[in-house]
Amino acid sequence: MPYTTNLVRVPAAGNMSLVVNAVKASFAASGSRGFVTTPVSSATLGSQSRPGIISTLAGAQSLDDVDANQNALMENEALRARLDSIDALCEKNHWVVLEVLTERQNINTDFTPKVVGRTMLESKVGRSPDLLETLMTIRSKLPFDRKPAITRPISGSVQGLMMTDFAGSLQELRDRGDETNKLAFEHGVPDLLATGPIRHIGRIIARNWQ
């Protein structure tokens, strides 16, 4: 299975523009496949008091690739210094490695994603396989060429899953979400959840799909 890494940086008060510019520059310099978002309507979780800038780095095809990427980071002092300089501008930072459970889609070259919706779902204890199976069924029934991605973190709650959807506008994202929610109720997703879903919406400010 492929893997992605989400780096979440929460700028300290007054540092939003500095962090945005630094993250965009760091992403461009890395040459990594992925994208960077700023919050449109954020989900501030736990002790996080401010919205975060999220860098999603793709390209790892296995856990061995994740190992290699992290080992390379530890051996690259210049890169670590660049990341440290961004961290110094932030109130809080964390990252999570996600296993991608759906196939990679070739995004139509005529489509330019502008916004991304991330919906985090927490299943009841022991119901994670049922939730995943149900989400896969819902995904297959969505009347869209572009399907949401389904991922799960390799750390944190073992009951957690996330659906990530791209759209060209907020209205399109809402329309797609409405269709997904309709199918979710029809297939009994609420009965599988320990808590209500949490949604975060971001605006894409940098991307590299290659």
163 and 79, same domain (yes or no): no
Beta strand segments in 61-174, E: 90-100, 115-122, 149-153, 160-167
**Which residue has tokens 């907020």?**
170
Confidence (pTM): 0.90
The lowest-confidence range among 40-49, 87-96, 137-146, 176-185 is 40-49
Tens-place pLDDT, residues 152-173: 999 988 899 999 999 999 999 9
Nearest to 95 by CA among 114, 69, 77, 117: 69
**Does some domain include residue 156?**
yes
74 and 19, same domain (yes or no): yes
Q: What is the DSSP letter of 41?
A: E
Tens-place pLDDT, residues 82-102: 999 999 999 999 899 999 999
Domain, as residue range, for 73: 3-38+46-100
The pLDDT value given to residue 206: 95
When pLDDT is averaged across residues 138-161 and rounded to a whole number, the result is 93
15 and 64, same domain (yes or no): yes
What's 135's domain CATH number? Answer: 3.30.70.100
**Does some domain include residue 21?**
yes
* Residue that is last in its domain, among 54, 75, 100: 100
Portion of the chain with pLDDT greater than 70, in percent? 94
- What gap in Å lies between CA 79 and CA 34, rounded to an integer? 18
**Cα–Cα distances in Å, from 45 out to 42, 164, 169, 199, 204?**
9, 17, 25, 11, 21
Tens-place pLDDT, residues 32-49: 899 999 999 876 555 555
